[in-house]
Amino acid sequence: MTPEEIVELGLGEGMAVVIGEKASGLNFRLANNTVTTNGWEESNSAGVVALEEGRVGVQAADISASSQVAEIARGARERARQSPEAPDAMPLLGVTEAASPLANESGPSPEARPEDLGPILDSVRGVLEQSRAAGLRCFGFAQATGSSELLGTSTGVRLEGRRQHASLALTLKTADLGRSVWEGAVGRRMADLDPEGMYRRLSRRLGWTERSLELPAGHYEVILEPSATSDMVVRLMWDMHARGADEGRTVFAGKSGTRVGEAMYAPSIRLESDPLDEEMAVPNFVRCLGSSEYASVFDNGLAEPPVVWVDGGVQQELICPRRWAQDHGHPVRPDVDNLAMAGTELSLDQMIASTKRALLVTSLWYIRDVDPAALLLTGLTRDGVFLIENGEVVGSVNNFRFNESPVGVLQRTVEVGRSELAFSREVGDELFVKAPPIRVENFFMSSVSDAI
């Protein structure tokens, strides 16, 4: 079934929103210098939001036959009749109020195809041969996904959203597994990834681990590589909604309102989103099957324009659905499924060369909340922390547990490097983020970790 057929079958009678999606994905896994598995999958799914006089019922499922769509719609309508009135109830958007269809959505299908594996597997096999020849062990995982979503409403809105995403993570270890380094990469397609370039950088880093140093817990100047920076800014973005600020639950709650307009970060910090960014394009309209702080089912089809969240260190915007905006005097601001932190022309190597003494942190792991209201987090470094002295990496050091807030990290950012697509290791490998390496003063490594 096509997404178009799913939508028309799901709408039926009454007020409703239907999202039909066709998705595909492929992947392969590496272990001990060998490609161990590969796979391909394809699915069709239908989601129906039924609206009955301000009450909402939702049902969704993977489907294989048209009869299932009508069953899903009936289930959603029955749930709506049994539900209380929704607190975010608003009129559904009409055709003239919703996002405009994108001209480029009529191009080739975004599906991930099995034949896309061939070229990258050839490159990966070359990497594995180099690893074996060097007496090392290489591990990793790659995946690519493609989806086409069609959103339809009983008010006549029809919008298509397409998305492609690919990622590759490689870990290179010594034969005894005692030393380990990691790198991740993302792009829109498998062909955008560069396994050989990743291996060269990993080999260089593994060479740095030949000298091992022990350092105590404490406050350090650090350079966070783009992966670690992305984990910080994405975690910040999760709390960047007006409802949490109004209710006093997040770091964006001020003494008399939200902190929009406040200089919360260093002047060099700029965060923005653009669904039409060519490197990380995502659908440009709201599509959701459940209301939250980030979106409302009544806003389905609402345009998601480019937005600057932070500029010059000043908080400019917070995510806000239509009903919350109406009730609390905020501008309507939809979420966008990508995030970019602005950078400079400085390369990571240039930043290292100008460093007197600092830690180079390549990735973060197992990040959890300590104090949600202050956005204080704890987590671990992993697979490569290095000591820089007088412009050179002089060896690897032990891993640490850290206690930090992304707000504090961005307040104490004193230098920003070149921004690039970054693999957010903790948050997930299907997220589009651009992030630079950043130099941060007084980063708190709260204890030593025995992890590799």
Check whether residue 414 and residue 312 sit in a common domain.
yes
Terminal-to-terminal C-alpha distance of the chain: 48
Which of 185, 206, 227 delimits the end of a domain?
206
Measured CA angle at 41 (ends 23, 290), to 5 deg: 40
- DSSP class of residue 102? P
pLDDT value of position 30: 97
3-state SS class at 7: helix
Q: Return d(Cα 272, Cα 261) in angstroms, integer.
A: 15
Write the CA distances from 19 to 24, 58, 91, 281, 413, integer angstroms. 16, 11, 18, 19, 42
Per the rule left: phi > 0, alpha: psi between -120 and 50, beta: everything else, 276 is alpha
Q: Please report the pLDDT score of residue 106 as a whole number.
A: 54
User: Where does a domain end: 206, 230, 263?
Assistant: 206
Taking only Cα atoms into account, the Rg of the chain, rounded to an integer number of angstroms, comes to: 24
Q: Do 225 and 192 share a structural domain?
A: no
pLDDT for 427 equals 81
CB 82, CB 94: distance < 8 Å: no
pLDDT, the chain, mean: 94
Q: What is the spatial distance between Cα 422 and Cα 430, in angstroms, rounded to a whole number?
A: 11
Both 140 and 239 in one domain: the answer is: no
CB-based contacts of 303, cutoff 8 Å, min separation 6: 98, 99, 100, 284, 285, 334
**214-234: buried (b, 16+ CB within 10 Å) or exposed (e) per residue?**
eeeeeebbbbbbbbbbbbbbb
Last residue of a domain, one of 206, 229, 247: 206
Do 171 and 230 fall into the same domain? no
Query: In one letter, which amino acid is 21?
Result: E
Distances (CA, A) of 309 to 187, 212, 319, 393: 23, 41, 9, 35
Per DSSP, helices labelled H in 209-279 are 226-238, 242-246
193/239 Cα distance (integer angstroms): 31
- Whether residues 374 and 342 share a domain: the answer is yes
Domain span at residue 122 reads 3-206
- Give the pLDDT score at 14: 79
For the segment 308-320, the average pLDDT, to the nearest whole number, is 98
% of the chain exceeding 70 in pLDDT: 98
Give pLDDT tens digits for 249-270. 999 999 989 999 999 999 999 9
Provide the domain count of the chain.
2
- Give the model's pLDDT for residue 428: 72
For the whole model, what pTM was predicted? 0.94
Pair (172, 261) in one structural domain = no
- Using the predicted structure, report yes or no on whether residue 104 has a pLDDT greater than 60: no
Give me 141's structure tokens: 């995982």
Taking the C-alpha atoms of residue 358 and residue 430, their distance in angstroms, rounded to an integer, is 31
Query: pLDDT tens digit string along 419-445?
Result: 999 999 988 767 899 999 999 999 999
What digits encode the pLDDT tens for the residues 149-175?
A: 999 999 999 999 999 999 999 999 999
pLDDT band of residue 213 (cuts 50, 70, 90) is very high
Whether 296 has a pLDDT exceeding 60, the answer reads yes
Q: pLDDT by residue (tens digit) across 61-84? A: 999 888 899 999 999 999 999 999
Instruction: Examine the domain organization and report whether 231 and 248 are in the same domain.
Output: yes
State mean pLDDT over 120-124: 94
Res 144: pLDDT: 95
In order of 3, 165, 304, the CA distances from 23 in angstroms are 10, 12, 22
* Tokens 């060519």 -> residue: 278
Same-domain check for residues 195 and 226: no
- Looking up residue 133, the CATH number of its domain turns out to be 3.30.2290.10
241 and 341 assigned to the same domain: yes
Cβ neighbours of 129 (radius 10 Å) = 12
Binning pLDDT at 50, 70 and 90, where does residue 108 land? low
Instruction: Answer yes or no: is pLDDT of 3 > 80.
Output: no
User: Backbone phi, then psi, for 186, in 5-degree steps?
Assistant: -135, 160
Both 246 and 264 in a single domain?
yes
**Spatial distance between the Cα atoms of 135 and 176, rounded to a whole number of angstroms:** 10
Question: Within this chain, do residues 99 and 169 fall inside the same structural domain, yes or no?
Answer: yes
**What is the sign, positive or negative, of the torsion defined by CA atoms of 186, 337, 258, 313?**
positive
The answer on 183 and 227 residing in a single domain is no
Among 12-21, 119-128, 132-141, 404-413, name the one with the lowest average pLDDT.
Answer: 12-21
State mean pLDDT over 390-394: 98
Q: What is the pLDDT of residue 402?
A: 98
Residue 429 confidence (pLDDT): 65
